[in-house]
């Protein structure tokens, strides 16, 4: 089966610009996660969707980050305006309802804010 797809793979922007990342989960996976992985650290959950609804967004900086998952499939994560400290790899993962402990990760988008 196809894995989790993400695009773009790399993005360089200047601070105060906006950027959007796209994720297509594994077909049939109801749960979708966005993680932020800063260099030298482990991934940190930003937001979790169950179908269309948000389950956990407690660590999402809502003044600048937003995410949506229309129709319960693809998802986009947006940053507006970007700050230098947003430089990181943004990982998307998905899991099925029956095996939510097993998350499948995409290759990530590496964002550099200059």
Partner 1 sequence: GNSVTQMEGPVTLSEEAFLTINCTYTATGYPSLFWYVQYPGEGLQLLLKATKADDKGSNKGFEATYRKETTSFHLEKGSVQVSDSAVYFCALKRLDSSYKLIFGSGTRLLVRP
**Looking at beta carbons only, is 15 or 55 nearer to partner 1?**
55
**Looking at beta carbons only, is 77 or 91 nearer to partner 1?**
91
Q: Nearest 5 degrees, angle CA 66-CA 68-CA 72?
A: 160
Footprint on this chain of partner 1 (rule: CB under 8 A): 3-4, 31, 40-45, 48, 55-56, 91, 93, 95, 100-108
Least distance from partner 1 to the Cβ atom of residue 70, Å: 21
Provide the terminal-to-terminal Cα distance of the chain, rounded to the nearest Å.
37
């Amino acid at each position: 089966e196809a894995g989790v797809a993400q695009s773009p793979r790399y993005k360089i922007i200047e601070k105060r610009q906006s950027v959007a990342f796209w994720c297509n989960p594994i077909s049939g996976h109801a749960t979708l996660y966005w993680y932020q992985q800063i260099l030298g650290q482990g991934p940190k959950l930003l937001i979790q969707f169950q179908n269309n609804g948000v389950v956990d967004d407690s660590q999402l900086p809502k003044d600048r980050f937003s995410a949506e998952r229309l129709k319960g499939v693809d998802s986009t994560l947006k940053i507006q305006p970007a700050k230098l400290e947003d430089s990181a790899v943004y990982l998307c993962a998905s899991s099925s309802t029956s095996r939510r402990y097993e998350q499948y990760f995409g290759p990530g988008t590496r964002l550099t804010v200059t």
